[in-house]
């Protein structure tokens, strides 16, 4: 089980990137005031809360999101063939949130939806041709090109997204991913931090990107015998994992990020902190398929701590 984390490290930015939404609008997480909401809309509709994907509605058009902090949130819903809807949720919002979608005949939007399904550069370009300032289409194209290692073209698409939407946190996060893939860590860090600034502190993809970048730097330092550098980079990784897990809340991608966060604390031999992260994981994802393994991590760490005591 634990060996899978190293695969998750290289895969997560892709996963988070595909799932992350645009137009982040965050709120600070509460440790005590938690709630659940059920989105009721079209079947198989994609749902984002505060720019983070929570998956799709079921055949009846329902998706329950939990736990989320009490307070204001931003909800986005999109279904194939329908016009996308953004809706702000207030603290007084009922637990059942009904979102009525209307059919769309907008050719640009339909081309974009098809491009998202098929991961087609040609369809993203068609959407952009039909709507020259289609920021989301530019960004979808940038993600696709980055996944294909077409980095120069990905940068061009990001530039197009920024021209259409000058302050675009997700575009900066994707730019950070591209720079990281190119091996330019300094520019990657700058882009990730720009994304966080643009998102006014809320940008889980960028926070995770930074956390993983420093985790990998720590592993490289340790592998070369630079144990001081290893320690420093693991500490820096923890700094960025902390907001990432809060911002992902109960989103599916948080399952991976929580476990990586705990693993970094283990590498630092901060076992109490690692146990706390794993215990938080079990509160947020009690029914996850990973829950049994995480409970075993806690048992192992407590045993290790007891054996190390004089």
Token readout for 18 is 């595909």
Contact 277, 304 (CB under 8 A): no
Model confidence pLDDT, tens digit, residues 59-93: 999 999 887 776 678 899 999 999 999 998 887 77
DSSP 8-state secondary structure symbol assigned to residue 71: S
H/E segment holding residue 46? strand 46-49
The rounded distance, in Å, linking the Cα atoms of 204 and 218 is 21
pLDDT at position 246, please?
A: 92
The token duo for 54 is 């929570």
CA 280 to CA 18: how far, in whole Å?
Answer: 25
Dihedral of CA atoms 29, 31, 37, 42 in degrees, nearest 10, equals 40
Determine contact, residues 218/237, Cβ cutoff 8 Å.
Answer: yes
Pair 198, 25: CB distance under 8 Å: no
What local confidence, expressed as pLDDT, does residue 51 receive? 85
Q: Report the DSSP beta bridge partners of residue 82.
A: 103
Residues of the chain with pLDDT under 70: 1-34, 70-71, 310
> 57: which residues sit within 8 A by CB, 6+ positions away?
39, 40, 41, 42, 43, 44, 45, 47, 63
pLDDT at 73: 82
DSSP structure class, residue 48: E
Residue 82 DSSP label: B
DSSP H helical ranges for the chain: 4-19, 107-118, 121-130, 135-147, 151-164, 169-182, 185-198, 204-223, 227-248, 254-267, 271-284, 291-308
**Coil/strand/helix, residue 21:** coil
User: Token pair for residue 69?
Assistant: 């902090």
pLDDT of 209 reads: 97
User: What CA–CA distances, in Å, run from 128 to 42, 78, 107, 179?
Assistant: 26, 19, 11, 24
Residues 6+ apart with CB under 8 A from 282: 291, 294, 295
Q: What is the pLDDT of residue 68?
A: 75
CA distances from 115 to 71, 110, 121, 185, 203 (A): 34, 9, 7, 30, 24
pLDDT of residue 95: 84
The answer for residues whose C-beta is within 8 angstroms of residue 158's C-beta and 6 or more apart is: 138, 139, 142, 171, 174, 175, 178
The gap from C-alpha 145 to its chain's centroid, in whole angstroms, comes to 19
- Quote the pLDDT of residue 33: 62
Which residue's structure tokens are 């985790």? Answer: 215
């Amino acid at each position: 089980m634990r060996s899978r984390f190293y695969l998750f490290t290289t895969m997560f930015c892709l996963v988070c990137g595909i799932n992350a939404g645009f137009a982040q609008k965050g709120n600070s997480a509460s440790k005590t005031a938690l709630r659940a909401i059920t989105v009721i809309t079209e079947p198989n509709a994609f749902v984002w809360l505060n720019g983070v994907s929570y998956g799709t509605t079921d055949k009846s058009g329902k998706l329950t999101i939990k736990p989320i902090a009490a307070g204001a949130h931003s909800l986005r819903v999109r279904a194939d063939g329908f016009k996308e809807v953004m809706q702000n949720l207030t603290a007084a919002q009922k637990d059942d949130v009904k979102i009525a979608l209307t059919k769309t005949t907008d050719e640009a939007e339909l081309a974009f939806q098809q491009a998202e399904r098929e991961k087609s550069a040609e369809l993203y370009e068609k959407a952009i041709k039909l709507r020259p300032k289609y920021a989301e289409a530019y960004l979808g194209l940038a993600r696709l090109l980055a996944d294909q290692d077409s980095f120069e073209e990905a940068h061009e698409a990001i530039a197009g997204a920024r021209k259409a939407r000058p302050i675009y946190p997700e575009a900066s996060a994707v730019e950070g991913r591209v720079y990281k893939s190119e091996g330019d860590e300094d520019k990657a860090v700058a882009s990730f931090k720009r994304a966080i600034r643009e998102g006014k502190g809320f940008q889980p993809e960028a926070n995770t990107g930074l956390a993983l970048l420093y985790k990998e730097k720590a592993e490289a330092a340790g592998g070369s015998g630079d144990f001081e550098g290893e320690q420093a980079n693991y500490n820096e990784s923890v700094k960025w994992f902390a907001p990432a897990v809060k911002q992902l809340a109960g989103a599916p991608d948080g399952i991976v990020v929580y476990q990586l966060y705990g693993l970094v604390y283990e590498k630092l031999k901060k076992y109490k902190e690692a146990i706390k992260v794993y215990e938080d994981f079990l509160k947020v994802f009690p029914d996850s398929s990973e829950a049994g393994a995480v409970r075993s991590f806690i048992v192992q760490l407590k045993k290790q701590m007891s054996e190390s005591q004089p």
